[in-house]
């Protein structure tokens, strides 16, 4: 037998076997299902800018104050907030100071912003300015929001180096309502308050108007004559894509100055 022919036949047989062995592998690869593309789960993150520390009064904190108490006293129990007033009723604005973590509003400084329903009220110090207690009766107060730390650029007050205090008033009710209250206390203290809620006065528009008068003497000699006459009104109109709110107040105060306690 020719050795050359035997070698060729062996090579041919090996080639055929290799081809037969590779055929099922190729067929299996062709029949395998196509790989599915990787799916990436969508994650949505929603956030809003806030100050370093925010606190807000609760209804119980407002109710523990008498109707003659200044609205400033409602935040005295919040962490980092200190209110000093000349007497229990806050009648003497000259003696009043507000401190939030080292920043103050007093006779010489105005480092804390103060707004009413989100609207700036100008300066808050005694000389040429007014605090929220000159704009709001305690009976008309809904809540107080205290933002501690330097306020962001969206703050509506130019005094916001040490934070912002936002006093919000109650919204008018949907039904007609008359509220009358009277308060009497020590140091010749007395107050008469009335608020009339109109109900719906136009399409989805509601309003209220309030009046009050109060007086008290000082706690030392009972000779001071502190009086305050206050009027305020608010309306809210609910529209399809916005709400329109208006607030106006008038305050006539006579105070005798004495040192803070």
Q: What is the DSSP letter of 6?
A: H
Per the CB < 8 A criterion, the answer to whether 215 and 192 are in contact is: no
pLDDT tens by residue, 91-142: 888 888 888 888 888 887 888 888 899 888 777 777 777 888 899 999 999 9
Integer Cα distance of 71 and 89 in angstroms = 10
In this prediction, residue 47 carries a pLDDT of 65
In this prediction, residue 150 carries a pLDDT of 65
pLDDT at 261 over 70: no
pLDDT tens by residue, 164-197: 889 999 999 999 999 999 999 888 889 999 999 9
**Which H or E run contains 9?**
helix 3-31
pLDDT at 19 over 60: no
Name 63's Cβ contacts closer than 8 Å, sequence gap at least 6. none
| CA 179, chain centre distance (Å) | 27
Which one is predicted more confidently, 240 or 54?
Answer: 240
Integer Cα distance of 122 and 99 in angstroms = 18
Is the full-model pTM beyond 0.85?
no
Integer Cα distance of 21 and 23 in angstroms = 6
In this prediction, residue 156 carries a pLDDT of 61
Q: Provide mean pLDDT across the span 51-70.
A: 77
Percentage of the chain exceeding pLDDT 90: 30
pLDDT at 85 over 50: yes
Integer Cα distance of 139 and 181 in angstroms = 9
Which one is predicted more confidently, 57 or 140?
Answer: 140
pLDDT at 56 over 60: yes
pLDDT at 151 over 80: no
Q: Which domains does the chain have, with CATH numbers?
A: 53-169 (2.170.130.10), 177-254 (no CATH)
Q: Provide the mean pLDDT of the chain.
A: 79
3-state secondary structure of 20: helix
Q: Provide mean pLDDT across the span 62-85.
A: 86
**Which H or E run contains 166?**
strand 163-169
3-state secondary structure of 49: coil
């Amino acid at each position: 037998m020719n050795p050359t022919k035997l070698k060729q036949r062996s090579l041919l047989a090996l080639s055929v076997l290799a081809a037969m062995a590779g055929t099922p592998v190729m067929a299996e690869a062709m029949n395998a299902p196509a790989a599915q593309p990787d799916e990436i789960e969508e994650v949505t993150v929603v956030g809003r800018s806030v100050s370093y520390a925010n606190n807000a009064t609760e209804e119980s904190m407002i109710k523990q104050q008498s109707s003659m108490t200044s609205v400033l006293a409602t935040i005295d129990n919040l962490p980092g907030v200190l209110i000093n007033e000349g007497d229990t009723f806050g009648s003497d604005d000259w003696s009043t100071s507000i401190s939030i973590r080292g920043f103050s509003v007093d006779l010489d400084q105005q480092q804390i912003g103060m707004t009413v329903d989100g609207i700036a009220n100008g300066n808050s110090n005694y000389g040429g300015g007014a605090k929220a207690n000159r704009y709001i009766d305690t009976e008309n107060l809904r809540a107080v929001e205290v933002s501690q730390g330097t306020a962001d650029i969206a703050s509506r007050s130019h005094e916001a180096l040490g934070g912002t205090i936002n006093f919000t008033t109650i919204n008018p009710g949907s039904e007609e309502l008359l509220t009358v209250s009277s308060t009497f206390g020590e140091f010749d203290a007395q107050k008469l308050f009335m608020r009339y809620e109109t109900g719906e006065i136009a399409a989805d528009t509601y309003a209220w108007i309030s009046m009050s008068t109060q007086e008290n003497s000082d706690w030392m000699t009972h000779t001071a004559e502190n009086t305050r006459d206050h009027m305020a009104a608010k309306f809210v109109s609910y529209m399809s894509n916005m709400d329109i709110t208006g607030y106006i107040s008038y305050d006539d105060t006579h105070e005798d100055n004495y040192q803070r306690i």
